[in-house]
Chains A and B, each alone.
Chain A
Amino acid sequence: MVFKYFKGVERISKRSASRFIFGLTSVAMLMGQSACTDNPSVVKYEAPKSAVVEVAATGGALTEQSGPLIWEASEGWLPGKASSMRLASFAVPVEGGESGDVSLVKLAGAAGGELANVNRWAGQIGMPPYNAESVKEVIMDRTTSRGVAYNLVTLINEDANRAILVGYYMMGGDAVFAKMTVSQSGLETAVPGFLEFCDSIGTSSN
């Protein structure tokens, strides 16, 4: 008795069904065709400028109130990440296609003190904090070619394959940090250039 409501539609035209199915197939083929052109081999577009090539590739001088700070980039270094905090920024090519990140930063005053800074850097590569006694094990006294005394902090986390080296200077009452973050496996390649960089830092009055 329900079938009486379907009278007239009991047999659907075969021609209509064919049209429906072939329409469906055509749609699929059209979509497939347009999909193929959605994966072009050459694409041109404009992108916002990349900061990486905007930083000067070589060392230079920056005039500060306490006198112009001078440094020299080491051979083979390339422009690094730009940042408003950084006076200079370099990428240091090392094995494995990776690069160490070198920054030169100047902060007012003692910038929290030596121990606090060392522990901050240690935390950045997953190392436990030092105390006033144990911190001496990672600090070495050095003097630049311009006669400026500085501390070289060396932190290596072998488990995480990460290392941070920092040249820590006090100049005119302000702290200057030359910091390199690099994989432990890249240390051998990166350290000589970084020490040259640290030893080149000074002011025009030195």
Chain B
Amino acid sequence: MNKLGRKLGSPKIFFFTAIWLLVILVVGTIAQKFIGLYQSQNLYFSSWYIPLDRLLFFWTNDAPSIPMPMPGGRLAMAVMFINLSAKLTFGTKLELARLGTFIAHAGGLMLLIGGFITAYYSKEGSVMLYEGEQAAYFDDYHKLELALIDTSPADHDAVTAFRNEYVRPGAVIEDEGFPGTIEVLSYFRNVDVYKLEGEVPADYKGMAQRFSIQGTDLNPQSERNRAGMSLRVSGLDDVENGVYILLQHMQVPQLLSAAGRTYQLDLRNARYPLPFGIELLDFKKVLYPGTTKAKSYSSDVNVVSGDLKRQVSISMNEPLRNLGYTFYQASFVEGNEGEASVFAVVQNAGRQFPYISSLIMSFGLMLHIFLRLMKHIKKGSRV
């Protein structure tokens, strides 16, 4: 065990993993120019493996496919974590003289743990509110969901959101209470929409009667991609059974009637409920005198918990932090319906880790320097 542990904790592993991380960092950073920040992050930094062709030909999507997986950023950091753990457990003599480096390495481990928590736990999204409007949710920036919404209850909508493997071709969706079955026929992360010409099949329903979708290349700017999917609904009556089209950001709801209830189908950004509500009271914009350039934005909001309301102000440098969620003033909209404020919302259980681990590493390094200094002083006094 000790032998295996010492091998796992070999500094060589750390050395080559760090070099590999540098390679990924350089390629991924340059690739951002061609495929955008989000895609690059997913492909190079958040992945367990990277296809070799994406490392060699990172500037083009038309490169020949080379079916050889190379370690991705996540795998490299996992190897680094195991290596550091093994090194500290089996490879370090725990003497006082090495206490500083021990603590510094432990800080590094904690930093990696924080990274993993952030990678899996964190949620990032946004919510837009018009003045007077209230919401108790936020929408993910990138992840999508297919929502089956029972709009029949008088006082609320009953939402069942299907994510991950359900937003893929071939997925079959069934929900308790919904008498039909929904099969995902096709799904594209970015689509072009075409007007249907000629005779339309009788089982095409809703928007599918007038339009068709076709997958297209991803836009480097992730938010400019509009997903689309086609679905086959079965198990209901002939009026409702058929093929439907859903598009991300589609303002026209696709409705189904079943068993005396009305259901809405929606392909949308994954929506996360908040344990409290946010009500926008007033959005304020201050311009530089004589210009239309904004000097500052701020929003007065109510944080609503049950019957309790707490008024706070969110401005560009003063986010609202509540129950693990942070709201940043991100943008605003001035439209026909009035002024709206856009908040970036982040939930990250690992956000304290970089601070704490940095402190630990700093303390460890300072202790190491101090102990070394003392050793030299001690040696000098003997001489």
Q: Which residues of A pack against B, CB within 8 Å?
A: 1-3, 6, 9-14, 17-18, 20-22, 24-25, 27-28, 31-32, 35-36, 38-50, 52-53, 76, 78-79, 81, 83, 91, 93, 95-99, 101, 124, 181, 189
Chain B residues within 8 Å of A25, by CB: 85
Chain A's nearest CB lies how many Å from the CB of B168?
Answer: 11
5 contacts between A and B (CB under 8 A): A35-B121, A44-B161, A52-B253, A81-B337, A97-B211
Q: Which residues of B pack against A, CB within 8 Å?
A: 81, 85, 88-89, 92, 94-96, 99, 102, 106, 109-110, 113, 116-117, 120-121, 136-137, 145, 149, 151, 153, 155-166, 193, 195, 207, 210-211, 226, 228, 247-253, 255, 262, 264, 273, 335-337, 374, 377-378, 381
A27 with B211: in contact, given A3-B374, A98-B251 (CB under 8 Å)?
A: no
Q: Quick one: which of A38, A42, A46 contacts B161, CB cutoff 8 A?
A: A42
Contact between chains at A39 and B120 (CB < 8 Å): yes
A91 with B252: in contact, given A12-B99, A41-B166 (CB under 8 Å)?
A: yes
Q: Quick one: which of B155, B156, B163, B249 contacts A43, CB cutoff 8 A?
A: B163
* The 3 A-B residue pairs with the shortest CB-CB distance in the complex, in nearest-first order: A35-B120, A97-B247, A12-B94
Which chain B residue shows the least CB distance to A37?
B120
Q: How far is the CA of A35 from the CA of B153 in the complex (A)?
A: 33
Q: How far is the CA of A51 from the CA of B275 in the complex (A)?
A: 22
Contact between chains at A47 and B157 (CB < 8 Å): yes
Chain A residues within 8 Å of B155, by CB: 49
Q: How far is the CA of A6 from the CA of B252 in the complex (A)?
A: 73
Contact between chains at B120 and A32 (CB < 8 Å): yes
Chain B residues within 8 Å of A35, by CB: 116-117, 120-121
Q: How far is the CA of A1 from the CA of B160 in the complex (A)?
A: 69
Contact between chains at A47 and B251 (CB < 8 Å): no
Chain B residues within 8 Å of A2, by CB: 374, 377-378
Dominant secondary structure at the B interface: mixed
Q: How far is the CA of A24 from the CA of B81 in the complex (A)?
A: 11
A47 with B137: in contact, given A21-B89, A42-B162 (CB under 8 Å)?
A: yes
Q: Quick one: which of B106, B162, B164 contacts A39, CB cutoff 8 A?
A: B164
A1 with B156: in contact, given A91-B252, A97-B250 (CB under 8 Å)?
A: no
Chain B's nearest CB lies how many Å from the CB of A206?
Answer: 29
Chain A's nearest CB lies how many Å from the CB of B358?
Answer: 17
Q: Quick one: which of B92, B109, B193, B337 contacts A95, CB cutoff 8 A?
A: B193
Q: How far is the CA of A44 from the CA of B157 in the complex (A)?
A: 11
Contact between chains at A50 and B149 (CB < 8 Å): yes
Q: How far is the CA of A43 from the CA of B374 in the complex (A)?
A: 59
Chain B residues within 8 Å of A53, by CB: 151, 253, 255, 262, 264
Chain A's nearest CB lies how many Å from the CB of B375?
Answer: 9
Chain B residues within 8 Å of A9, by CB: 96
Chain B residues within 8 Å of A41, by CB: 162-166
Chain A residues within 8 Å of B117, by CB: 31, 35
Contact between chains at A99 and B166 (CB < 8 Å): no
Chain B residues within 8 Å of A79, by CB: 253
Q: How far is the CA of A131 from the CA of B137 in the complex (A)?
A: 46
A48 with B161: in contact, given A2-B374, A18-B89 (CB under 8 Å)?
A: no
Contact between chains at B253 and A31 (CB < 8 Å): no
Contact between chains at B157 and A36 (CB < 8 Å): no
A28 with B151: in contact, given A41-B166, A93-B210, A97-B250 (CB under 8 Å)?
A: no
A46 with B158: in contact, given A6-B96, A11-B94 (CB under 8 Å)?
A: yes
Chain B residues within 8 Å of A14, by CB: 94
Contact between chains at B81 and A28 (CB < 8 Å): yes
Contact between chains at B337 and A1 (CB < 8 Å): no
A38 with B159: in contact, given A12-B94, A18-B89, A27-B113 (CB under 8 Å)?
A: no
Chain B residues within 8 Å of A83, by CB: 337
Contact between chains at A49 and B156 (CB < 8 Å): yes
Q: How far is the CA of A189 from the CA of B160 in the complex (A)?
A: 33
Chain B's nearest CB lies how many Å from the CB of A84?
Answer: 11
Which chain A residue shows the least CB distance to B194?
A95
A181 with B249: in contact, given A12-B94, A44-B159, A97-B193 (CB under 8 Å)?
A: no
Contact between chains at B378 and A1 (CB < 8 Å): yes
Chain A residues within 8 Å of B88, by CB: 17, 21
Q: How far is the CA of A48 from the CA of B153 in the complex (A)?
A: 10
Q: Quick one: which of A3, A44, A78 contacts B378, CB cutoff 8 A?
A: A3
Chain A residues within 8 Å of B264, by CB: 50, 53
Contact between chains at A10 and B193 (CB < 8 Å): no
Contact between chains at B120 and A38 (CB < 8 Å): yes
Q: Quick one: which of A17, A36, A52, A78 contacts B120, CB cutoff 8 A?
A: A36
Contact between chains at B89 and A17 (CB < 8 Å): yes
Chain B residues within 8 Å of A39, by CB: 120, 163-164
Chain A's nearest CB lies how many Å from the CB of B263?
Answer: 10
Q: How far is the CA of A92 from the CA of B94 in the complex (A)?
A: 73
Q: Which of B81, B249, B253 has the most CB of A within 10 A?
A: B253
Chain A residues within 8 Å of B158, by CB: 44, 46
Q: How far is the CA of A53 from the CA of B251 in the complex (A)?
A: 11
Chain A's nearest CB lies how many Å from the CB of B289?
Answer: 22
Chain B residues within 8 Å of A189, by CB: 195
Q: Quick one: which of B95, B136, B249, B251 contacts A91, CB cutoff 8 A?
A: B251
Chain A residues within 8 Å of B102, by CB: 17
Q: How far is the CA of A50 from the CA of B159 in the complex (A)?
A: 11
Q: How far is the CA of A104 from the CA of B285 in the complex (A)?
A: 30
